Amino acid sequence: MDALVAAAKAEGKLNIIATPPDWANYGEAINGFQAKYGIKITSDNPNGSSQDEINAVTQLGTSSRAPDVLDMGKAVTLANTQLYAPYKVATWGDILTSQKESTGLWWQDYGGYMSIGYDSSKVPAITSIADLLKPEFKGKVALNGNPKQANAALNGVMMASLANGGSADDISKGVAFFHQLKQLGNFSPVQATTATVKNGTTPVVFDWDYLSSSHGTDVPSWKIFEQSNAILGDYYNQAINKNAPHPAAARLWEEYLYSDTGQNDWLRGKARPVRMAAMVTAGTIDKTAAAALPAVNGTPVFLTDAQAASAKNYLTANWDTAIS
């Protein structure tokens, strides 16, 4: 570890991508890492999608501007394993076998459950996904990105599918639901961000509960709905670019994120860190932050690797037609 710290400090820089500071409390982790090691972090395209991260890796190649580390959804992660360098953090043993690639090409970091967040001052209370078909929601229902590229958006469509008789093997019911929203004029093509929620452009958003919770800071009337028959959980994945311009800093960043400090940073952002169970056992969890997690009532569904890939393939073939 001493040698890694020395090498990382010698590089002096770290490039991250698609990690806005209000996403799972990344801002606290970024500031903490920079303060501890004196390594400057450059954060590119903060509101980018998982596919944007991969595009940056392939387009920037071995340049000094290429991303050092990646934080992606499952489908995109699995489709691009040839781009990653294997690495195992010191706390590797705390990560379940099902939540990591055995050689260290990728490993899960934090997760939560898909939800519908809404500004209760602008729309009626949501008690069912079917409510979104009502006239009061005209032009107001948005996703966090393009589901063909962004993991959060893909899972938003999958949540709608589960709620409408689909299954983890069948996202078509979700695509049909959004097609219906589009026909009614209720679907908004605007990608939801902190700014669009704050200014009222996207008052209803399918997104992870931990990301949606953060909107309450800007919009006190913001509420979160999770349908009991459509509790969809997922974790994001970390990977290191095999052509990382700052390879030591990349690995040190991962060590920081998977330390108790980094894991509790995500937890304070209402995301469930991958080491949470081990930290509860060890007594190193932030108990106040753990108690503040959004309540979940229902049996969670987690997509397998094959189901995530199948959903992405279906969306690639059918999404544009459904909402055109």
Three-class SS state of 203? coil
Q: Is the dihedral of CA 28, 56, 209, 306 positive or negative?
A: negative
**How confident is the model over 5-32, as a mean pLDDT?**
97
| Whole-number pLDDT of residue 305 | 87
Q: Which residue has the tokens 């490039």?
A: 15
In this predicted structure, what is the pLDDT of residue 177?
98
295: confidence class by pLDDT, cuts 50, 70, 90: confident
- 191 and 132 in a common domain: yes
Structural domain boundaries, residue 8: 2-111+235-291
Q: What was the pLDDT predicted at 92?
A: 98
User: Percent of the chain beyond pLDDT 90?
Assistant: 95
Confidence check: pLDDT of 298 > 90: no
Burial of 132 (0-12, 13-18, 19+ CB in 10 A): buried
State the amino acid at position 79 in one-letter form.
Answer: A
Q: Residue 141 forms beta bridges with which residues? A: 187, 204
pLDDT value of position 317: 98
Two tokens at 110? 């934090």
> Please, how many CA atoms are within 13 Å of residue 248, restricted to the half-sphere of its CB?
15
Same-domain check for residues 282 and 304: no
Same domain, 127 and 215: yes
Render pLDDT for 258-274 as a digit per residue (tens, 0 to 9). Answer: 999 999 999 999 999 99
Residues 106 and 140 in one domain: no
- Do residue 151 and residue 262 come from a single domain? no
Number of separate domains in the chain = 2
- The mean pLDDT of 204-226, rounded to a whole number, is 94
| Tokens representing residue 29 in the block | 């982790």
**pLDDT beyond 90 at 20:** yes
In this prediction the pTM is 0.85
The verdict on 141 and 226 lying in the same domain is yes
- Quick one: DSSP state of residue 106? -
Position 296 scores a pLDDT of 83
Nearest CA to 158 out of 323, 18, 302 is that of 302
Burial class of 239 by CB neighbour count within 10 A (0 to 12, 13 to 18, 19+): buried
- Average pLDDT value for residue range 83-101: 96
Residues 170 and 71 grouped into a single domain: no
Domain shared by 49 and 120, yes or no: no
Q: CA dist 46 to 79, 203, 278, 303, 319, Å?
A: 22, 21, 30, 26, 24
Q: For residues 148 and 311, give the distance between their C-alpha atoms in angstroms, rounded to a whole number.
A: 9
Q: What is the dihedral angle through the alpha carbons of 27, 259, 308, 302, rounded to the nearest 10 degrees?
A: -110
Bridge partners, residue 12, by sequence: none
Compute the mean pLDDT over every residue in the chain, rounded to the nearest whole number: 96
Which stretches within the chain are classed as H helix? 2-11, 26-37, 50-60, 74-78, 151-163, 172-184, 194-198, 209-213, 247-257, 260-268, 276-282, 287-291, 305-323
φ/ψ of 272, rounded to 5, equals -95, 105
Residues 6+ apart with CB under 8 A from 120: 221, 222, 223
- Mean pLDDT across the stretch 237-250? 98
Bridge partners (DSSP) of residue 111 are 235, 272
Q: Are 15 and 42 in contact (CB under 8 A)?
A: yes
Tens digit of pLDDT for each residue in 102-131? 999 999 999 999 999 999 999 999 999 999
| CA distances, 250 to each of 14, 15, 211, 220, 273 (Å) | 7, 8, 25, 37, 19
The reply to whether 224 and 270 lie within a common domain is no
In the predicted model, is pLDDT for residue 178 greater than 90? yes
If asked whether residues 103 and 117 sit together in one domain, one would say: no
Q: Tell me the pLDDT tens digit for each residue of 132-168.
A: 999 999 999 999 999 999 999 999 999 999 999 999 9
Does residue 67 share a domain with residue 19? yes
165 with 258, same domain? Answer: no
Coil, strand or helix: which one is 264?
Answer: helix
Quick one: 299 exposed, middle or buried, by C-beta within 10 A (0-12, 13-18, 19+)? Answer: exposed
Query: What CATH number did the domain enclosing 307 receive?
Result: 3.40.190.10
